[in-house]
Amino acid sequence: MPKPLLYLFLCLALVNSPLALADKTATAPWSSASLTPTRYKPQKVVYDVHVTTADAVESVLDRASYLSAITGADPFDQSIVLVLHGKELSFFAIENYDKYKELMQRAQSLVESEVIRIKMCKIAAQSQGYSVDDIHGFVEMVPMGDAEIIRLQYEEGHAYMQ
């Protein structure tokens, strides 16, 4: 057998040997997790969004989108609301569209095609120098983010997520 093939054969044999497998279980004494098959009903959820980076906004959009998909994306039985009231407001400002174009197109697409709504605190927007006219039209402005989160929980039965 040529030396390169012999070397490859020995490496494969070592990797698949009981000794190599023993090393893997030594670091996982309880084996690995198992997946519990679960069916989820449509949900009513309010996300309290107070983040500082575009990546964090993207992560919230990912979570909300996945929740919508895994629970059926039924606009009649389901409601997913993102309430913005932190530094992330600037990403939704029309003046920053060129900088955050892809993020805003994704957010707008989720609002248009799914059961997701995005609401913004007017007080927080004003404190950052924005008015209703400065924010993209797919965002709903509400008088106060905290009051909206409370209203959604207690009057409309939304579960709270952060």
Domain of 74, CATH number, reads 3.40.1260.10
Task: List, in sequence order, the alpha helices (H) in the chain.
Answer: 3-15, 18-26, 54-70, 101-113, 122-127, 145-154
Q: What is the pTM of this model?
A: 0.80
Distance spanning both ends of the chain, measured CA to CA: 61
Residue 38 forms part of a structural domain: no
pLDDT of residue 72: 86
Question: Which range of residues forms the domain containing residue 91?
Answer: 44-161
Would 2 be classed as within a structural domain? Answer: no
**8 occurs within a structural domain:** no
What is the number of structural domains in the chain? Answer: 1
Residue 39 resides in a domain? no
Range with lowest mean pLDDT among 25-34, 49-58, 108-117: 25-34
Domain membership of residue 123 (yes or no) is yes
Share of the chain above pLDDT 70, in %: 84
Which pLDDT band holds residue 15 (cuts at 50, 70, 90)?
A: very low
Decide if 79 is inside a domain. Answer: yes
Residue 136: inside a domain: yes
